[in-house]
Chain A
Amino acid sequence: MPDASLLGQVKDFANRANPYPVYAKLRETPVSRQDDGTGDGTWVAATHDTIARLLQDPRVSSDTQPPADRPRTGNPLTDLIVKPLKDWMMDRHRVFIFRDPPDHDALRAAVMHQFSRERVQAMRARSDRLVADLLDAKSGAREIDAVDDLAYPLPVTVICELFGVPREDEPKFHGWATQLATALEPDSLSDTEIRAKNSRTFDAIGGYMADLIKDKRKHPRDDMLSGLANHATPEGAKMGDYDLVATSILMLVAGHETTVNLITNGLLTLLRHPDELERLRQDPLRAPRVIEELMRYEPPVQFRTRRTLSAIDIAGVTIPKAADLVLLLASGNRDAAVFPDPDRFDPDRTGTRHLGFGGSLHYCVGAPLARFEAEAALTALAARLKAPRLIEDPPPYRPGAALRGPEHLRVAIDGIA
């Protein structure tokens, strides 16, 4: 019998700084039933092979969200009429990361169509500029917090520029992004207080986006939101307003904390492997390799959840119908069957098959953008931080077990070049 308390240990904050030994124990049973406080348990896939298979199994659904249930206000008119209507709208226009084909595919295709190479490429140069400005602002400092000073502000600005959010409104997005990041943390669903806060934030950002979209319809520009609002996909579909609002919020949320974590996990890992930091400093062209290995070694998204639509036989067990499933991406990334010497950080590995961006139909839409942003940040940090030293190792972590990363990453320096 595999130890059924391991998923609990994954979620236990005490293991946040280093969950990998728990993952190694989980991999001893490729798919195991874990206690989750409910009688049904949660099924955890921990090996590369089983995760990759389940990611593209049609009996596995991403529709894990319970029906929308906005907090009551106490005002009978709102609670009886507006709430059910809004709940219904939210369910109907759920973001596509939580949807299955065919609806998922149509919405995703519309985004992919606008997420063109040229657009992403343009953000590459912008990322370099933004990073330079953020570091310039710290010139003279003897200590930086890689989270607050660089990693946190960068992705929001990038996504705002990509969408075409007016510069003066950008500060609002920083606040919204922080709050909504909790929406992707599986356990937040059961926390009514977080849900209440999130739905207020959704209202705020949703209202803002709806207005912005109207404006983009009237005055289209060369930005992604204008593109989504005004152009059909090659298949002829154009997104309706509600889907467009939901989708743009998804992009903000999915691309925010994840990218923050990639940058901070990256700097942390490089500071723990000073030879690699030095190699990157001398040869910035190593950045893409370093980043792929980081995506394997310290992936910002440690796991994703799913539900089974029917029973599945896999790796000697039968996952029942309607079971909760955890795909432990970060554990698959440490599977010795695919990555020799898996616990070694080695950017010279070839044949990257990591699961850090997921796989198959929900494979991360923003992967190219995230890579550019991390590249800009890490090459600049390697080049410009003089004699960087970690002040705390391990650093303090944010609560999330799925979207896992340091809350702060304080680094002592002799200055910024």
Chain B
Amino acid sequence: MARTSERAVIVGAGLAALRGAEAMRAAGFSGPLAVIGAEPHYPYDRPPLSKHVLAGAIPADATTLPGIHGLDADWHLGNPAIGLDRGRRAVLLADGRDLPYDRLLIATGTRARPWPNPHEGRLAGVFTLRGRDDAAALRRALAAGPRRVLVIGGGFIGCEVASLCRKLGLPVTLVEPGPTPLARVLGSTVGAFIGAIHAGHGVEIRCGAEVEWLEDAEGRLVRAHLVDGSRIDADVAVIALGAVRNTEWLDGSGLSADPGGVDCDASGHVHDTDGQTDPRIAAAGDVARFSHPLYEGRRVALEHWSHAAAQAVHAGRLLAGTPPGEPYGALPTFWSTQGDLVVKSAGLTEGADAVAITQGDPAAGRFIALYGRAGRCIAALSVDSARWLPAHAEMVAAGAPFPPHGAAADRPKAIKILEPGFS
């Protein structure tokens, strides 16, 4: 157990920060605990931003996470950390103050990758979507009834926004340089199935296409010019190009960190650039890169809500002095609500050499895709079939043989092994 005179600092004030702080307190840490947040808000939930908030079902500020006021902590909000001095054991804040620590949790998450041209990125009508304020602004723009919405990037957030626009009755075009939406994470085979469902709901999908520049009239977006010379008239554009990890503030700290994350060892402690762990510091959530025991120790940084929460609990206990038990290695799970479509996954698709539809029918808009690698199940994805996911998640966690044999409800007569289509 940590001595009570020790001070804890948590940098970042998102989901992982909150769960980490709660876990430290629950594990008996009773010293002063400070939470530092770049945004002026208490920790809030991001998944609803691209769903209920954009749909207008709840206001953006209704997303604050529960449990904040019961927590014994000092909040430093709207005051980002700009540096870490491990020699002096202090976090440097933007307002010039130093916060000394004995235990430090790094939970700074990610931010939206900006549009490469900063001038165009600042035009009225051009949005990114990461924070609560972004969501509130985009919601206002959608509620104003734009003539057409352009979504740039066909990852999860892009697909969520595009399908939601259709639910709102707005014309929408999704531009994705890859062969299909979601191709990077799910491969183009499954990406094509999901893309077809969105297309069926009226999302205009332009794959293999790239936006070259955004044209404005008096500072307002009017159209996008594509590399192939075509144009798309739109008064709202949502830049959904993925995320960049917030690690700049660690520059010069000697920790092993880059835009892909900050490196941790199996227990959750961070590495320095010499590969030594710093036992006073742990990282959790979207910013943490770690070796996943279920995936032959491959280094991964996940952007999954349930992972951020679970890993933060693990890190919080660790910092509170609970001896590290098992390395953190929960099966990664993820969900995404795209219009009325509910997509869920268990495991990591990366490295899959085969995929099979084991239940349902992509043409009917509901199915399970099971991903295999070297004859083992490594990930499962459900599209409007979440009830079947737990049984598949068990197969993934157990590394069951791929393809699965034997019959199952709603299983195609013969399971076809498909090329997953990762480029």
- Contact surface of A with B, Cβ cutoff 8 Å: 53, 56-61, 100-102, 309-311, 321, 360-361
User: In the complex the two chains form, is A59's CB within 8 Å of B407's CB?
Assistant: yes
User: In the complex the two chains form, is B388's CB within 8 Å of A310's CB?
Assistant: no
Q: Can you add 20 more A-B contacts, CB < 8 Å, to A57-B391, A101-B410?
A: A53-B394, A56-B387, A56-B391, A58-B358, A58-B368, A58-B388, A58-B391, A58-B408, A58-B410, A58-B411, A59-B408, A61-B409, A101-B360, A101-B409, A309-B407, A309-B409, A310-B405, A310-B407, A360-B387, A361-B387
B390 at the binding interface (Cβ < 8 Å): yes
- Complex interface: chain B residues within 8 A of A58 (CB): 358-359, 368, 388, 391, 408-411
- Complex interface: chain B residues within 8 A of A310 (CB): 405-408
A59→B410 CA distance, assembly (Å): 10
- Complex interface: chain A residues within 8 A of B411 (CB): 58, 309
B414 at the binding interface (Cβ < 8 Å): no
Q: A58-B359, A102-B360, A102-B364 are in contact. Are A309 and B390 (CB under 8 A)?
A: no
A88 to chain B, nearest CB (A): 22
A263→B279 CA distance, assembly (Å): 60
The 8 A-B pairs of least Cβ separation, nearest first, read A310-B406, A58-B408, A309-B407, A100-B409, A101-B410, A57-B391, A58-B409, A59-B408
A25→B154 CA distance, assembly (Å): 54
- Chain B interface residue count, CB cutoff 8 Å, equals 18
User: In the complex the two chains form, is A102's CB within 8 Å of B410's CB?
Assistant: yes
B409 to chain A, nearest CB (A): 4
| Closest partner residue, chain A, to B364 (CB atom) | A102
A53→B398 CA distance, assembly (Å): 15
Contact with A along B395-423 (1 / 0, CB 8 A): 00000000001111111000000000000
A61→B406 CA distance, assembly (Å): 13
Q: List 5 A-B contacts (CB under 8 A).
A: A58-B408, A59-B391, A59-B408, A101-B360, A310-B405
| Closest partner residue, chain B, to A104 (CB atom) | B409
Contact with A along B127-152 (1 / 0, CB 8 A): 00000000000000000000000000
| Closest partner residue, chain B, to A234 (CB atom) | B340
A13 to chain B, nearest CB (A): 34
Which residues of B, 15-62, contact A by the 8 Å Cβ criterion?
A: none
- Complex interface: chain A residues within 8 A of B407 (CB): 59, 309-310, 321
A414→B179 CA distance, assembly (Å): 79
B255 to chain A, nearest CB (A): 41
User: In the complex the two chains form, is B406's CB within 8 Å of A321's CB?
Assistant: yes
A243→B406 CA distance, assembly (Å): 29
A58→B406 CA distance, assembly (Å): 11
A58→B389 CA distance, assembly (Å): 9
A188→B402 CA distance, assembly (Å): 40
User: In the complex the two chains form, is A56's CB within 8 Å of B388's CB?
Assistant: yes
B415 to chain A, nearest CB (A): 12
Which residues of B, 150-203, contact A by the 8 Å Cβ criterion?
A: none
B387 to chain A, nearest CB (A): 5
- Complex interface: chain B residues within 8 A of A57 (CB): 391
Q: A102-B360, A102-B364 are in contact. Are A56 and B390 (CB under 8 A)?
A: yes
